[in-house]
Amino acid sequence: MDASAEVDHLAAERSAARFDVEAMKVAWAGSRHAVEVGDRMARLVASDPVFRKDNRTMLSRKDLFKDTLRKAAHAWKRIVELRLTEEEAGMLRLYVDQPGYVDLHWGMFVPAIKGQGTEEQQKKWLPMAYKFQIIGCYAQTELGHGSNVQGLETTATFDPKTDEFVIHSPTLTSSKWWPGGLGKASTHAVVYARLITEGKDYGIHGFIVQLRSLEDHSPLPGITLGDIGGKFGSGAYNSMDNGVLRFDHVRIPRDQMLMRLSQVTREGKYVHSDVPKQLLYGTMVFVRQTIVADASKALSRAVCIAVRYSAIRKQFGSQDGGPETKVLDYKTQQSRLFPLLASAYAFRFVGDWLKWLYMDVTQKLEAKDYSTLQEAHACTAGLKAVTTSATADAIEECRKLCGGHGYLNSSGLPELFAVYVPACTYEGDNIVLLLQVARILMKTLSQLTSGKQPVGTMAYMGNVQYLMQCKCAVNTAEDWLNPVAIQEAFEARALRMAVNCAQNIGQAANQEEGFYERSPDLLEAAVAHIQLVIVTKFISKVQQDIPGPGVKEQLQNLCNVYALYILHKHLGDFLATGCITPKQGALANEQLGKLYAQVRPNAVALVDAFNYTDHYLGSVLGRYDGNVYPALYEEAWKDPLNETVVPEGYHEYLRPLLKQQLKLSRL
Amino acid sequence: MDASAEVDHLAAERSAARFDVEAMKVAWAGSRHAVEVGDRMARLVASDPVFRKDNRTMLSRKDLFKDTLRKAAHAWKRIVELRLTEEEAGMLRLYVDQPGYVDLHWGMFVPAIKGQGTEEQQKKWLPMAYKFQIIGCYAQTELGHGSNVQGLETTATFDPKTDEFVIHSPTLTSSKWWPGGLGKASTHAVVYARLITEGKDYGIHGFIVQLRSLEDHSPLPGITLGDIGGKFGSGAYNSMDNGVLRFDHVRIPRDQMLMRLSQVTREGKYVHSDVPKQLLYGTMVFVRQTIVADASKALSRAVCIAVRYSAIRKQFGSQDGGPETKVLDYKTQQSRLFPLLASAYAFRFVGDWLKWLYMDVTQKLEAKDYSTLQEAHACTAGLKAVTTSATADAIEECRKLCGGHGYLNSSGLPELFAVYVPACTYEGDNIVLLLQVARILMKTLSQLTSGKQPVGTMAYMGNVQYLMQCKCAVNTAEDWLNPVAIQEAFEARALRMAVNCAQNIGQAANQEEGFYERSPDLLEAAVAHIQLVIVTKFISKVQQDIPGPGVKEQLQNLCNVYALYILHKHLGDFLATGCITPKQGALANEQLGKLYAQVRPNAVALVDAFNYTDHYLGSVLGRYDGNVYPALYEEAWKDPLNETVVPEGYHEYLRPLLKQQLKLSRL
């Protein structure tokens, strides 16, 4: 049921809000147009029975996979029939909300060919991909190799006699392992392998390899293909055919090497093109930007469920049998939930800013200006790491905030968690990414002495003299509402942690050894830097003109909640580096409590502004109308165990036990 | 495969250990006898094909439930056939490792009758329960009511005309909801309901109610029964029939009210017996004690998997194609994993101590000495909350530490997480419990002024004068190895946080309002108190005589790792309260790094000491022999999706897409 439900159990909550929800929807979505398209696509999906997903956790692996194939085909049919724009099609896929091969086809296969293929290759392969005449995936990781791409073992050896590459899996650990869409659906893959020609190993390159017959879908000779097995959760990513792939000397034409950056000639010479390597970073910025945007989506769904349910659920606090207190009114609930609500908005806005950064980087790359590339790379890698880790933890926290019922699949939260957590690992393990950020921080610091001014999100590091000795001016709790005070405290904390690391590394016998020894501290410094970026971008956002009654005020509140929550959570950092005093820390915490009280009456409306349909939320607890209990009750009876009153197995395993006839029975 | 495997890929790790693993097994299990019994039962289960669990995540809900019934009956058969002792039977059930109705039958139904039933009632019901002539569950929570037992709505109205109670569910939200074993298996339940007699509501009492026919297992008239639906994870708790139960004026004889503490007479008079109410607290201490023990089991399983796999998995660090570095050698991996290894041991030893506390409380209760009851209650409630929350987070952290492969069901970690997390909610939501601890802390503080000396784990609070002003004497990193320094810092931190809370509450208009406003801070103070308890008990343990070469030294290391890790994680607490200086905090962190280096060569042996079979671990990544990659590869092919090379759904949903015939097809 959607907003059209007859009784709205959350009506009182909604009318208590002190801002215009419709205007907030625009602020969240980015534009009125985005709200409108999202709305239309969400309803299109929700109203189509093929896209139902309430039974997803009850399907067997095979049925779930078949259901994914059906939905993908149906979505494509609708996209074609309705002549949807690229934007609309993307939204439609989002609301179908089931991982499947199309994600990799559009998200990895097509971009890989676009980014690494020559114009000729693009002309040949993209039209087929655009029409789904072929289905592609992205075969990079191997059984024994994930984060370290340079360690991949698959080989692509050029054979000048036949003008072909021979793709081969020399070991068990070189089996391609994890690529989504590989196990069952894809006909083609971009395969990453060590290019060997003239007896020399030129490292990892991409190759377009056909995997399955376009006639009967059987694997081509020399190719072994399968699914790698069940994954976390009941439904979750089990709709995806993450696959294993082994090559036994499989031959492909030379022109299926992706040759935009380097080529192998007919004679087997390895040559670089004049296209700068840096272009690849642009793609990475793009992909990670979408991951940050996805973090805000996943987090906001979990928060929406937890906030609505917390406004329905009552517990304790009754006097003489009177009504109990809504759990949302408890300070402990608020202090756990509202920071996550604020984080959802924070990640949304930093994600919007990353979109801008991607365009900026792209323009600069086209102008062969690489001056901001490293900083942009650090920033996107770090934001990917920090937002995905925080989101995974936050979804689970929202589940716990829903008490026992959050553990039911019908709450939607177990699935949301299980389907989300791989984001912490894919596209760069978060720890590996944060160490990359730390490396760039250390480099930036070391270059300060030679007068090189840091740029973009690292510009504050140029202010090192001031930030190393500045004292926080906060005297009252209200002083913490001043964005200048917040910004400076976060800058000083991040810089001082980085400087501490640099000094400690400097004392080591050599830099590399020092970096290794101090890597746990470097992780913390990297997180501090990225949290500064998020706070900074949120502050910039709320300093802009934001239309709609009360909207800007709410976002200012949430911005302060986010910043002061991070400050409280990482108080040790701020105190250890002397950025603030214990007294100032206590004032921040006091102000945080006051901010929660201001968020409280607006909480339900703030999650309404995400504009999610009940279909997309997929949660009995998060229903728009708040009619939770009858829905929970109804949902329970759908479980297959309830098909019979007396369970299967009673006669074999319960009755003999109860009748004390177990010894006679053969089990 | 077990220790008998031909090649041990972890042999070098094992031989590097600087202590005697067999002696450590004894230290972990508690006695040589416990090791022997555990070993024997684990092997009994592992060698019996009925108890296989490697296919568990692939079974449908119905098949999984049937499998649980089968295992339960088979386990009982073996227990009877082999005349196992209670200890052996408990171990056997542990290693069967599948939640099911027997857990509630033995863990809740029987203890409830023992604790709350009269001698007569015990004589009538327990023999049937002991022989499984009846199967019982514990029906307390309702759809609308969990933590707040006093808010339950089910009624038990005495009818003096027939000498019966009428059990009734007056509302939808009064439906019993969640009890394990209720949905499909149980024949009886202890039902908690509001006792009403002579028109007066006497609050919540327990009643033995028969639910199903002992002849054909059908629900008795007036009783509606079902399963509440799927839960987190693929297998996990889906083997359990958590149930829903509604009563429509169901009549039971008066003598099925559990009457040890209070009775209703034939005339309908409500009378208290002379048995003290406090006895009920003893049961709570017992149940929560087992939950803390379970926390160390679950955590140690996850840590065992992550440590072994980290010693096999290699990534990065190769020079010129040479071997990569074991991920266990990375400082970032150590700084995340070794604190969890230390936590497993910490929780194990505090769990052992809780067993002693339970016996101590029981003896005192029998002597009508209630002086330590409140402190013991706070301590067990708090330890339940802190260890279960930390364990849930740690299992997920271990999963992430296994990278992508940790997301596969074959890693065992998704299931371990999904099956464990409800421990944060059941038997007292962790937040609710911590607030209870905080309340007792505040009360203890307020009684100091009247000269009442705190006892047991709160005794340190009597030292308030000293602890409020003491200064940490640490000057070097090594100084942090002194248990006196650690103990004092933790005591000062816990006490000062509690005192801060008390002072802030004191400033509020009234105590209750102040407690409510400050509840987020109170949670933190409660956690600080409980962490002190854990550290204190670990320190006491390692100060005892522990036999075996090197064993005591390893445990001392782990004790220091645990304490300094908590100190680093909660540095803000220690600095804000002035218990240590920023410099001392940095020294603690430095010492922590040195301790990790000492744990490193012993890590694999330290998890071997848990003595888990490969069957119990249920993880391809955690295999004793470390032969991970062939096993992962082999496991993948067992997925149902791999039954056919071309997937079901190809002809309906993939081929029409690829052949551009989608428009013609009916989806």
A526, two tokens? 């990297």
- Verify whether the Cβ–Cβ distance B65 to A647 is below 8 Å: yes
**A316–chain B nearest CA distance, Å:** 6
CA-CA distance, B329 to A516, in Å (whole number)? 10
Closest CA to B408 of A483, A464, A153, A141: A141
Measured CA to CA, the distance from residue A498 to residue A522 in angstroms comes to: 7
Kindly report the number of other CB atoms within 10 A of residue A1's CB atom.
11
A176-234: pLDDT as tens digits? 999 999 999 999 999 999 999 999 999 999 999 999 999 999 999 999 999 999 999 99
Distances (CA, A) of B46 to A376, B53, B615: 53, 10, 5
Of A50, A61, A404, the CB nearest to B141: A404
Instruction: Select the residue of A151, A183, A658 nearest B135 (Cβ to Cβ).
Output: A658
Asked if residue B211 lies in contact with residue B189, where contact means CB atoms within 8 angstroms, the answer is yes
Residues of B in contact with A593 (CB under 8 A): 517, 520
Partners of A183 on chain B (C-beta within 8 Å) are 641
pTM over 0.90: yes
Q: What is the pLDDT of residues A502-551, one digit of tens each?
A: 999 999 989 999 999 999 999 999 999 999 999 999 999 999 999 999 99
ipTM entry: 0.97
DSSP string, A447-508: HHTTTPPP-GGGGGGGGHHHHHH------SGGGGG-HHHHHHHHHHHHHHHHHHHHHHHHTS
Where are the CATH 1.20.140.10 domain residues in chain B? 280-452+475-609
Please report the pLDDT score of residue A320 as a whole number.
59
Of the residues B13, B375, B427, B524, only one is catalytic, namely: B427
What distance in Å separates the CA atoms of residue B152 and residue B145, rounded to the nearest whole number?
6
As a whole-number percent, the residues of chain A with pLDDT over 70 amount to 98
Q: How many CB atoms lie within 10 A of CB A363?
A: 10
A636/B404 touch (CB, cutoff 8 Å), yes or no: no
The distance of A60 to chain B (nearest Cα, Å) reads 6
Which pLDDT score is estimated for B318? 65
Q: How many CB atoms lie within 10 A of CB A157?
A: 17
Contact state of A332 with B61 under an 8 Å Cβ cutoff: no
Taking the C-alpha atoms of B63, B67, B73 and B74 in order, what is their torsion angle to the nearest 10 degrees?
Answer: 140
CB-nearest to B637 from A226, A335, A435 is A226
**Helix B519-543 / helix B430-448 crossing angle, nearest 10 deg:** 80
Q: Which CATH number does the domain B280-452+475-609 belong to among 1.10.3720.10, 1.50.10.10, 1.20.140.10, 2.60.40.10? A: 1.20.140.10
CB atoms within 10 A of CB B18: 12
- Give the β-pairing of B164-168 and B155-159: antiparallel
Helix (H) or strand (E) holding B444: helix B430-448
Using a CB-CB distance cutoff of 8 angstroms, which residues of chain A are in contact with residue B398?
Answer: none
Annotated ligand binding at A117? The verdict is: no
The tokens describing A46, both together, are 């929700």
Catalytic machinery residues of A: 427
Beta-carbon separation of A217 and B654 below 8 A:
yes
pLDDT along chain A (667 residues), means of 10: 69 98 98 98 98 94 97 96 96 97 96 95 98 97 91 97 98 98 98 98 97 98 98 96 98 98 97 86 85 97 98 82 88 98 98 95 91 92 98 98 97 98 93 97 95 95 97 98 98 98 95 95 98 98 97 98 98 98 98 98 98 98 98 97 97 95 66
pLDDT at A1: 40
Residue A169 near residue A246 (C-beta atoms within 8 A): yes
Residues of A in contact with B435 (CB under 8 A): 332
- Distance in Å, alpha carbon of B525 to nearest chain A alpha carbon: 13
Reference A239, options A62, A426, A106; nearest CA is A62
B629–A173: do the CB atoms touch at under 8 Å? yes
Residues in chain A, overall count = 667
Nearest Cα residue in chain B from A54: B230
CA atoms within 13 Å, Cβ hemisphere of A364? 17
- A351 annotated ligand-binding residue: no
Closest chain A C-alpha to B451 CA, distance in angstroms: 30
Q: Checking DSSP bridges between strand B164-168 and strand B223-227, what pairing results, if any?
A: unpaired
Question: Among 2.40.110.10, 1.50.10.10, 2.40.37.20, 2.30.110.10, what is the CATH number of A134-275?
Answer: 2.40.110.10
- Cross-chain Cβ contact A141/B429 below 8 Å: no
Structure confidence by residue, pLDDT tens digits, A468-481: 999 999 999 999 99
Tell me the chain A residues in contact with residue B640 when contact means C-beta distances shorter than 8 Å: 60-62
Location of each CATH 2.40.110.10 domain in chain B: 134-275
- Identify the H or E element spanning A542: helix A519-543
Within 8 A of A151 by CB-CB distance, chain B residues are: 315-316, 318, 324
Which residue pairs, CB below 8 angstroms and at least 24 apart, start in A513-519?
Answer: A515/A439, A515/A442, A516/B330, A516/B331, A517/B331, A517/B593, A518/B331, A519/A435, A519/A438, A519/B330, A519/B331, A519/B332, A519/B335
Instruction: Please judge whether B74 and A667 are an interchain contact, meaning their C-beta atoms are less than 8 angstroms apart.
Output: yes
- What is the reported pLDDT for A276? 83
Using CB atoms, pick whichever of A632, A645, A648 lies closest to residue B143: A632
Query: Which tokens belong to A333?
Result: 């609930």
Calpha distance B235→B61 (Å, rounded) = 8
Residue A336's Cα: distance from chain center in Å?
21
Percent of chain A scoring above 90 in pLDDT: 92
Q: Which two tokens stand for residue B91?
A: 């171990």
Q: Measured between CB atoms, which of B69, B173, B662 is closest to A73? A: B662
Q: Hey, is B308 helix, strand or coil?
A: helix
Instruction: Determine which of A81, A201, A642 to mutate to test the interface with B (most B C-beta atoms within 10 Å).
Output: A642
pLDDT profile of chain B (667 residues), mean per 10: 69 98 98 98 98 94 97 96 96 97 96 95 98 97 92 97 98 98 98 98 97 98 98 96 98 98 97 86 85 97 98 82 88 98 98 95 91 92 98 98 97 98 93 97 95 95 97 98 98 98 95 95 98 98 97 98 98 98 98 98 98 98 98 97 97 95 65
Q: What is the 3-state secondary structure (H, E, C) of A381-446?
A: HHHHHHHHHHHHHHHHHHHHHCHHHHHEHHHCHHHHHHHHHHHHCCCCCHHHHHHHHHHHHHHHHH
Q: Which residue has the tokens 């002003």?
A: B469
CA of B484 vs chain A CAs: smallest distance (Å): 23
Tokens at residue A366, please?
Answer: 């086209």
Within a 13 Å sphere around the CA of B637, how many CA atoms are in the beta-carbon half? 8
- Between chains, do B232 and A656 touch, taking CB under 8 Å as contact? no
- Which residue spans within B389-533 are E strands per DSSP? none
CB A630 within 8 A of CB B105: no
Contact between residue B622 and residue B305 where contact means Cβ atoms under 8 Å apart: yes
Ranges of beta strands (E only) in B19-163 are 136-139, 155-159
